[in-house]
Chains A and B, each alone.
Chain A
Amino acid sequence: MRDAWADTLIEIAVDNPDLLVLDGDLASSTRADRFAVAYPERFLQMGIAEQNMVGVATGLATLGYIPWLSSFAVFLTHRSADQVRMLVAQTHANVKIGAAYSGLLTGFTGKTHQDVQDLAIMRAMPGMTVIAPGDATECAAAVRWATKAPGPVYVRLARDAGPDLFDESYRFEAGRVISLREGSDVLIVSTGTQSARCLAAAEILASRGISARLLHVPCLKPVDAAAIAGAARGVRLVVSAEEHTILGGLGGLVAEILGEHEPRRLIRIGIADTWGESASNAFLLDRHGLSAERVAERVARESGRLDATAGAPG
């Protein structure tokens, strides 16, 4: 996905002379180094100083530039939270946050570099558009959209390439939720690269006789709340799944929508209010219940509980 981010910036830079990339000394990881080669005069190396980088981007934006920030998510949403809040979000500055190495799967970095609160933090900022693309194609489309959209945009980028969900005809639309699979028993709502794992989980569930509908939410803010509430209407159980804490991110979003519009039993799959560790992707996905098999197991178990409850006398 990081490749898609950088390659798209290079591609659209031709038609967007004001597009800049500011890097916090991580360009070789985020792939911004490719942009630096393609457009050396439009690549600004800010060094290991993310707070300043956010401020510099804000200043550049006042002169009509469209600065994209290149760093790890954790340094942009945690270390620079106040700068993003006051300088960017509160002034609706036209700054684009390319948050690389998001979530748990960050290449053996451990909990120090795993950002599993970014969606919660960014979603709580008024005026911030929050995007978590599901695959490289959606990432590319979101980058194109964000570059044109006025105001701050946060784009959650996964380090590793994942399965393709969309073809080249895909067009990003802020707030739209996308049905990836139809089903009648359970509604799974997922975001980011977790959606591909949930799609595989839905296949496993089908083989066990459970029909799961899968709704992909690539944009957590704004979001089509009515579409999520509407999808929940026909099912008894709703499950949210994200490579993120279950507090305040997609799980929080779905809980808010259901609580206000369509009360349903909700199971939130994600990092259960704990920290990660350095380990392989497979280990981390299993440990936190995010692999396709673990998601399927959990959904089946919770569905069974519901059935048992429904079948119980009195």
Chain B
Amino acid sequence: MTPAQEAGNSTDLEALARRGRQLVIESVAHSGAGHIGGPLSAMDLLVALYFRVLRIRPDETDWPERDRFILSKGHSSIGLYVVMALRGYLPIEELATFDSAGSRLQGHPDMTRLPGLEASTGSLGQGLAVGVGIALGARMRGLGFHTFVMVGDGETQEGMVWESVMVAARYGLANLTMIVDANGLQQYGWPLAPGGGNRGDRRDPLSGIRLRDALTAFGWDVTAIDGHDMEAIVEACLAARDRAAIERPMAILATTVKGRGVSFTEGRSEWHSRVATADEADAARLELAAVGDAQS
């Protein structure tokens, strides 16, 4: 298998995701800035989408029938760039330019620089609205493609997300799927201090909130999956795309682990935007390689 083609099975996808995680850590270490936690939590979702789900032509980025993908949680850009590089949208070597002056790989996705990006994102909460517009326009144009938008669970704190959720439901956009990368951690860290009392800032960010119920109540179909289970991701996404008659938008709540794949970044909020030292990057590469060896 060459990486730039669709991957065949879950083992291939998992290998790609390990390679992707390694490239994320290396790229961020190289540029000296960027995010680690979010890109690693989203990596399996991104790999599954770009290698098994999306109907795309990396060499024809303006193909009208292509499925659309928008990374609304734009600070995970390096995760998207890595997967796009693996899929053949850009040379792997170009990842070394991430975040640097003149690069197509800006800190947050810039659709005016990199062909293949369907929206510019970064200020949180805005990608779903663009997805709603694309899905609505596709229906009006009679185009059969599907639009996927990935948001972070923390991102749902932005009020605008719910404006888009309401409008998508009212217009019955069955050609729209929102994937929530629910890694449960945000930049602040939300320390669960012992004896913290009822102070909201000591609680889990979505404490007391039933996102699934909320989206269901807003008229969306909702399914929940393990966001690191390749088969589950592919199945849920393909099922979401194949529901044109349903007339409801689809939400996939993907439970993930922030910093997934490297022991010392997993579940640690400080890795939201930390840069790996050379030693840490080496350690991460060895860990990811060891998992690969064990599974091959």
> In the complex, which residues 87-115 of chain A have their Cβ closer than 8 Å to any Cβ of chain B?
87, 90-92
A285 to B111 alpha-carbon distance, docked (Å) = 44
Q: Contacts A58-B119, A65-B137, A82-B123 given: A87-B130 contact, CB under 8 Å?
A: yes
B4 within 8 A of A: no
Q: 16 A–B contact pairs at CB < 8 A?
A: A46-B167, A49-B163, A49-B166, A51-B125, A51-B163, A54-B129, A55-B129, A55-B133, A56-B132, A56-B133, A57-B133, A60-B137, A63-B137, A63-B143, A65-B137, A83-B160
Asked if A52 and B132 sit within 8 Å, CB to CB, the answer is: yes
A59 within 8 A of B: yes
> In the complex, which residues 39-69 of chain A have their Cβ closer than 8 Å to any Cβ of chain B?
44, 46-47, 49, 51-63, 65
B136 within 8 A of A: yes
Count of residues in B whose CB is under 8 Å from the partner chain: 33
Asked if B130 and A55 sit within 8 Å, CB to CB, the answer is: yes
Asked if A55 and B126 sit within 8 Å, CB to CB, the answer is: yes
Since A56-B136, A59-B136 are in contact, a sample of 16 more A-B pairs with Cβ atoms closer than 8 Å, ordered by chain A residue number, is: A46-B167, A49-B166, A51-B159, A51-B160, A52-B132, A53-B129, A56-B129, A56-B130, A56-B167, A59-B130, A59-B134, A62-B130, A63-B137, A65-B137, A87-B126, A90-B112
Asked if A60 and B133 sit within 8 Å, CB to CB, the answer is: yes
B120 within 8 A of A: yes
A149 within 8 A of B: no
Asked if A58 and B129 sit within 8 Å, CB to CB, the answer is: yes
Cβ proximity bits B189-217 to A, threshold 8 Å, 1 near / 0 not: 00000000000000000000000000000
A124 within 8 A of B: no
B41 within 8 A of A: no
Q: Contacts A51-B160, A65-B137, A91-B111 given: A59-B132 contact, CB under 8 Å?
A: yes
**CB-CB nearest 8 A-B residue pairs:** A59-B133, A55-B129, A49-B163, A52-B163, A56-B133, A63-B137, A59-B134, A59-B130
Q: Which of B110, B126, B166 is within 8 Å of A47, CB to CB?
A: B166
Interface of A is mostly: helix
Q: Which of A44, A52, A65, A92 is within 8 Å of B164, CB to CB?
A: A52
Count of residues in A whose CB is under 8 Å from the partner chain: 25
* Chain A residues with CB under 8 A of B138: 63
* Chain A residues with CB under 8 A of B120: 86-87, 90-91
> In the complex, which residues 107-156 of chain B have their Cβ closer than 8 Å to any Cβ of chain A?
110-112, 118-123, 125-138, 140-141, 143
Asked if B137 and A83 sit within 8 Å, CB to CB, the answer is: no
* Chain A residues with CB under 8 A of B131: 59
Asked if B133 and A86 sit within 8 Å, CB to CB, the answer is: no
> In the complex, which residues 1-55 of chain A have their Cβ closer than 8 Å to any Cβ of chain B?
44, 46-47, 49, 51-55
A91 to B119 alpha-carbon distance, docked (Å) = 8
